[in-house]
Amino acid sequence: MITKHKLAALVVTLLLGMVASGQTPNRPPGKSSMTDLELENAIRQRFARSKSATDKFTVRVQGGVATIEGKTAVVQRKGSATRMAKSAGARQVVNKIQVADEARQEAAASLDSGRRRAQVKRSDVNR
Pure H helices in the chain: 4-20, 36-48, 76-88, 101-118
pLDDT in tens, 36-74: 999 999 999 999 999 888 888 999 999 999 999 999 999
User: Is pTM beyond 0.95 here?
Assistant: no
Cβ distance 39 to 59 under 8 Å? no
What pLDDT shows up at residue 55? 85
* Contacts by residues 80-85 (CB-CB < 8 Å, ≥ 24 positions apart): 80/50, 80/52, 81/47, 81/52, 81/57, 84/43, 84/46, 84/47, 84/50, 84/52, 85/43, 85/46, 85/59
Q: How do the domains of the chain map onto residue ranges?
A: 1-29, 34-114
**Overall fold of domain 34-114:** Histidine-containing Protein; Chain: A; (3.30.1340)
